Structure 1
Amino acid sequence: MQNNAALDPENRALYAEILRAPAGYDLDAALATTYTLDFETALVVPATLAFHAAENRQETLDTPLALLEGLERLSSRIAIFCEAGRIKSVPKGANRLTALLEDTVTEVTAPRDGAFHPKLWFLRFVPIGGHGRPRLRLALLSRNLTTDASWDLSLSLDGVATANARDQNAPLVELVSALPGMASGRPAPAPVASMVASLAKDLARAEWDYPRHVNKISFAVNGLSDRVWRPQVGRTLGIISPFVTDGALSALSRGVDPANACLLGRAEEMALLSPETLARFGKRLVLDEMAETEDGEESDEPLRGPVPTRGLHAKAFITERYKSTEITMGSGNATTPALISGNNVEVFATLTGYTDHLGTMEDQLSPERLGRFLREFVPFEPVNTAKEDAAEARLEKLRRDLAGSGPILRCEEDDEGRILLHLSAQTEIIIPDGIGLRIWPVVVGIEHGIGLTALDAREHLLGRLPLRDVTRWIGVRLVDELTGLEQYFTLGSDLVDLPDARTAEILRALIENQDAFLRYIRLLLGDVSEAAKALFAAGKGGTLSGVFGTGRDAPILEDMVRALTGDGRQLRDIERLVTRLSDPQTGRSEIIPNEFLHLWETFRAVMPKDQRND
């Protein structure tokens, strides 16, 4: 929904488009909020911001140097806040580069005991030459920062920071400013808190470019106080929501003629509603099952155009009031925690325009738009899942308790240079009878885990690992022994006594010799677009040397001189790399040629200072 306000599945916006810097600008800072998170997506985001040559997500994941360089360049400029205990687990072992996300990702808990559920991106871009005003971008999504491929909605707004604060942005500023204070267990790192405060100041003064036919945009946030926002009642009502409750739907539809009310949801959720609630909606719709098979794979049958993939995740509320149509989108479902009690932290944007321009509620769900992928909901008797629901509730409670326990990982180096990881917690958690708990360091996988019946101040030896595999992330599996129901997730811990050389060890695992180092230097010095193309070609089995030379034969000196005449960004990238790979005592490294170090000392003395805004 970047250029218009139609709920049209062919009007698609991908993460890469939302994150791409405007021409002539560079990313200065980015903030994201999400309910769930997976490490692969979190690793791809910095690489997407640094390079735009990858054809797809998997191509980026298959190119470790792209992930590394994206993290090295941008992880300190990105802050991600997610619900504590909602990072997806990696039972087979996570990418060791997840260690470089330790200060990027902050786990939080909702202040009113609900879920932390907003999906928001706020980005600040600065002119590459250092002259001119920063550009701002706000994106509100219905999806999480994961691989989920459901049909979603997004609103992306570009703008600039003006001289004065604007009341329109106050709810968003309140949410962003509150984020560091919601941290669970481990506090938000000081640089993250400082960056968030800086972004909040610009957000307060943001003036947005509106989509076509929209003459007003208002924002709302629930879950921070007793104030609870919900869509205003109009003469018509359209609700798009994957999850629904009787109480919320009854409250939202009060005073609306059922003939003018439409509900689009998931069949398994709507089957749980009372007949009285369903009767409030003259139209009850679900995504057409012919669009996909039950396991989410595309059907072999011919389809009618681009079908929303793998289910419904979009949330929207459409009303007509007077001569205007209001379309509200954001993170909140039509449920009691989101819109009635206001326990969940949710974010919403309401777009208002003349009905003659935006269309009616019927128009938004017409066959020309989303309607061609919908069918009437046919009520059915839901399967009795009482035992499974009770088991899930038990596991969910334990998940929340573990997320709030304040896990601590203490590092101790043994005589062979390996790291002993000792696990404890600030708050005692006793594992209830009938539930099994297994915990492991995420990089090495679940087979290296231990079983526990309690997590408390006593230390448990969690593993003995090479330094390059040590992170603050721990994998968790919960098993309800009565039903066999399992939950897997990742928790962040407070990692203490970590040796300073950990990041250097990770770099050495990817840049293993002097030739690889020199090729990487050429990557840092090269034109970003051409370097990225070569980098991803190498990830497919090609070689960097075809573009950058064989390493030692490449004219590195010429490129370094050329970089010196610019703004110095490429040379600062080299400084960062050399510092990480060098012995802090001697300044030397086995994988950095001595002749390069001598050359580098000359450039370091005259390297331009960083002009990027802090």
Structure 2
Amino acid sequence: MLSPDTRVLLTDALLPPVGYAIDSVVTTTYSLDLTALLLAPLTFSARTRTGDIDDADPIALLESIRRHVGSITVFTQAGGLKLPSAYRSVLSFAENAVVEVRAPQPGRLFHPKIWLLRFVSDEDGGYLHRFLCSSRNLTFDASWDTLLVLDEDPDSADVVDPAPIAEFVSALPDLATTPMSVDRAAAVVDLARTVRGAHFACPSPFTSMTLHPLGLSEGAALPIPAVADRALVISPFFDPSTSRRFASLAPQTRIVSRAETFDRTGSAAFGYAETFTLQSVADRPGEEETADEPASEVGGVPSGLHAKAFVFDTGDSTLLITGSANATSAALGGNIEFSAALSGPSARCGIDAVWDGGRGTTGLSRIVEPYTITPAEPDAAADALARVEKEMADFRALLAAAGPQLHFTFDGETAQCTLLVPEGMVGAFDGEVTVSPISLQGEYRPLAPEVTWSGVAATNVTAFVGVRTVRDGIELFGVVKAELHGDVAGRDRLILRGHITSAQDLTRCLLFLLGGELPGDLDALAGTDRGPNGERAPGRGTVDDTVLFEPLVRAVIGDRAALDRIDALIRDLDAPADLIDAELRDLLDAVRVAHAAVAGGEK
């Protein structure tokens, strides 16, 4: 289980094995914080030590995104993008990585939280795969979650069948609200192809595992038993029918949920089950949340319990199901979800082991407390909020699927941006709708078939459009992705120039391009000062262009990929002579010639 303070565990799980580099990644999430998305490329380049985006060197962030974003595809619920607290122009380089999707069954959600990663060997080009099955969205929510990590182990006797992963991933491009690019869709399908041969090991002490995607094929269901001796059910959400089902399938049942879920569902639905909530010290809001911020299956869980785990003891065997599916009718009957079912001996992985802990682990009983369900009085305000929240989310999903376009033209270093949406979307929501590029503050304008912003800084041109909806005093913000039309390469060039403003910046960027996975060495070369805990100290350090010589010599010997990255940067930057002087150009030309000679004339 992941606590609110251990987000770094996810970044640890994304790190490539020693001797391998990231090759291809697919991840799925219900809600997506665009800033959190930037953590993945930083991790793949070993550029973050704390899991904190604010700790990242800005040049390292730029280089990591440009290097890795082409190999990452994020599938997210249409309209489920979160408005970032601060806009970063480097998000422009991540636009193509974000694919909005919708569940095929009307009224259901795209809700899985998986990562499928393919690593390539530096030595022989062979592949290794890693699969993560989680309850955590790609956000900064301060919630308690679960994370299951599967790595390949050719020597393992307990092998997990990867076919459900392959079938699930290969189906994702067809769920996109607007067609994906041919190359990106092909990369996703190729990753699904290679994972079929993966040799995933079942984690000890479990002895077998099955994988269960839901919502894509008729009849797919989790292997929840009809009866068990004991049950432990952890879920932030229930509804009356599912709470009765789980509470009655075993004579001894413990249920862990949220206080508001228990009270709104009612004690009768939980029968004789023992009910628990997180202790108040554990169920605390995060730094950016307030204690009274509501949680819902549609709106998400900003803090507190978000884990989903169903544990069943029968005889001396245990079945544990964990993943994205809540204990609700929607999750178990129509939502797109992904969960894993693990089986093993009760003595080592049963309810007592989970509840009491052991072998250096903290049992669940240490962080929960009994909860007495108090019948909730009818709460018209809460009911209205839940209803309007869902209608607002449905509208954003509809708007995303309608194919919005953002056209822009440059006038010097500013642009005129025009958002085009189908006329039928205007008035589709019974309330106020205003929109704005997420890069602009205070520029929300009423939704219309054409909405124009003038004098927009080129670095603020973005495909991500904020959507503000208001009804009955309820105001919510979300984001949809528009199709971008205009001189995108020119915009990207200006963003690059905005980050690389001096020869010193360029030298630092070239060092990162040449540095591979050696952040410690790069810190010394790039003059990056670090604090006692590894955080980046204020200031950007100083460097001398001569520090490029040794890394370039190493590239001559064998790192052609680094030279290709440098060529791409120089081409895309199209920098003036005062940024890339003749001496540096001559040095790079000499390195290319030397590499060709060392490689036997290979270009």
- TM-score interval for Structure 1 and Structure 2 normalised by the shorter chain: 0.7 to 0.9
User: Quick one: which of 12, 17, 20 aligns to 2:15?
Assistant: 20
1:371 matched to 2:360: no
- Does structure 1 conserve the Cα–Cα contact (< 8 Å) formed by 2:8 and 2:50? no
Cα distance, 1:562 vs structure 2:
2.2
2:257 paired residue among 262, 265, 271: 265
Q: 2-side partners of 1:437 and 1:10: how far apart? A: 36
Using the TM superposition, name which of 15-24 and 187-196 deviates more. 187-196
1:39 aligns with 2:34: yes
- Alignment TM-score, normalising by the size of structure 2: 0.87
- Alignment CA distance shift 1:263-1:427 (3 Å): farther
Q: Does residue 1:514 correspond to 2:503, yes or no?
A: yes
Matches within 5 A, 1:325-344: 325-339=318-332, 342-344=333-335
| Shift, 1:280, TM fit | 4.7
Distance 1:146 1:167, change over 3 A: closer
Q: How many Å separate the matches in 2 of 1:177 and 1:557?
A: 44
Kindly indicate whether the alpha-carbon contact (under 8 Å) linking 1:84 and 1:491 is maintained by their aligned counterparts in 2: yes
* Deviation, structure 1 residue 604: 3.1
Please state how far the C-alpha of 1:598 moved relative to its aligned partner.
2.5
**Helix, strand or coil at the partner of 1:501:** helix
The answer for the alignment partner of 2:122 in structure 1 is 128
Residue 387 of structure 1: aligned partner: 384
1:450 to 431, 439, 445: 445
Contact 2:209 2:340 in 1 (8 A): yes
Contact kept, 8 Å, 2:209 with 2:343, in 1: the verdict is yes
CA contact (8 A) 2:309 2:320 kept: yes
* Aligned counterpart, 2:296: none
8 A contact 1:110–1:116 mirrored in 2: yes
**What's 1:474 paired with?**
465
Distance in 2 between residues matched to 1:312 and 1:404, nearest whole Å: 31
- SS, match of residue 272 in structure 1: helix
2:591 maps to 1:603? yes
Alignment partners' CA distance in 2, 1:364 and 1:564: 54
Kindly provide the CA deviation profile for residues 57-106 of structure 1, in whole angstroms up to 9, marking residues without a partner as x: 14435x3212101101111111111111111113x651111101111111
Instruction: After TM superposition, give the deviation of residue 9 of structure 1 in Å.
Output: 10
Cα distance in structure 2, aligned partners of 1:218 and 1:543: 49
Are 2:208 and 1:213 aligned?
no
CA distance in 1, matches of 2:429, 2:210: 49
Q: Which SS does the other structure have where 1:603 is aligned?
A: helix
Q: Which amino acid aligns with 2:540?
A: T
Instruction: Write the letter of the residue equivalent to 2:196.
Output: A
Give the residue type in structure 1 aligned to 2:192.
A
Contact 1:239 1:264 in 2 (8 A): yes
Task: Name the CA shift for 1:472/1:314 in 2 (closer, same or farther; >3 Å).
Answer: same
Letter paired with 1:418: T
Alpha-carbon distance in structure 2 between the residues aligned to 1:9 and 1:322: 35
Q: Note the C-alpha offset of 1:297.
A: 9.4
Amino acid at match of 1:462: W
In the other structure, the counterpart of 1:501 is: 490
Q: How many residues are treated as equivalent by the alignment?
A: 566
* CA RMSD after TM alignment: 2.9
Corresponding residue of 1:435: 431
1:555 CA drift (Å): 4.1
Q: Deviations over 1:451-507 (max 9, x none)?
A: 23xx4xx42213432322211111111111x2x111111110011123422211111
- Which is further off, 266-275 or 397-406? 397-406
Matched, 1:274 2:270: no
Which has the higher relative contact order, 1 or 2, with Cα contacts under 8 A spaced 6 or more apart?
1
Q: In structure 2, what is the equivalent of residue 111 of structure 1?
A: 104
Query: Which of 172, 181, 194 is residue 189 of structure 1 equivalent to?
Result: 181
More moved, 601-610 vs 559-568 = 601-610
What is the alpha-carbon distance in structure 2 between the residues aligned to residue 235 and residue 374 of structure 1? 22
Q: Which AA in structure 1 matches 2:140?
A: T
Q: Secondary structure at the match of 2:161?
A: helix
2:316 aligned to 318, 323, 326, which one? 323
1:81 counterpart = 2:75? yes
The aligned runs of 1:152-167 (5 Å cut-off) are: 152-159=145-152
Q: Would the aligned equivalents of 1:8 and 1:370 in 2 still touch at CA under 8 Å?
A: no
Task: Tell me how far apart the structure 2 counterparts of residues 124 and 12 of structure 1 sit (CA, whole Å).
Answer: 22
**Separation of aligned partners in 1, 2:194 and 2:209:** 18
* 1-structure distance, mates of 2:429, 2:122: 59
SS in 2 for 1:179: helix
Q: Does 1:149 align with 2:153?
A: no
Counterpart Cα distance in 2 of 1:31 and 1:13: 19
In structure 2, the residue corresponding to 1:106 is in which secondary structure?
A: strand
Contact in 1 for aligned 2:15/2:46 (Cα 8 Å): no
Distance in 1 (CA, whole Å) between partners of 2:199 and 2:66 is 32
Matched, 1:530 2:520: yes
CA drift at 1:243: 0.9
Question: Are the counterparts in 2 of residues 402 and 429 from structure 1 also a CA contact under 8 Å?
Answer: yes
Normalization by structure 1: what TM-score?
Answer: 0.85
CA contact (8 A) 1:52 1:532 kept: no
The aligned counterpart of 2:570 is 578
Identity level (%): 28
Instruction: Name the counterpart of 2:544.
Output: 550
Contact 1:408 1:426 in 2 (8 A): no
1:432-464 per-residue CA deviation (whole Å, 9 max, x = no partner) reads: 68621111111123x122123xx4xx4221343
1:423 and 2:414 matched: no
State the alpha-carbon separation in 2 of the partners of residues 244 and 574 from structure 1: 53
Q: Distance in 1 between matches of 2:213 and 2:38?
A: 28
**Kept in 2: contact 1:405–1:427 (CA 8 A):** no
Residues 4 and 143 in structure 2, CA contact (< 8 A), matched pair in contact too: no
Instruction: Report the equivalent of 1:168.
Output: 161
1:68 aligns with 2:44: no
**Structure 2 residue 475 is the aligned partner of structure 1 residue 486:** yes
Contact 2:347–2:353 (CA under 8 A) maintained in structure 1: no
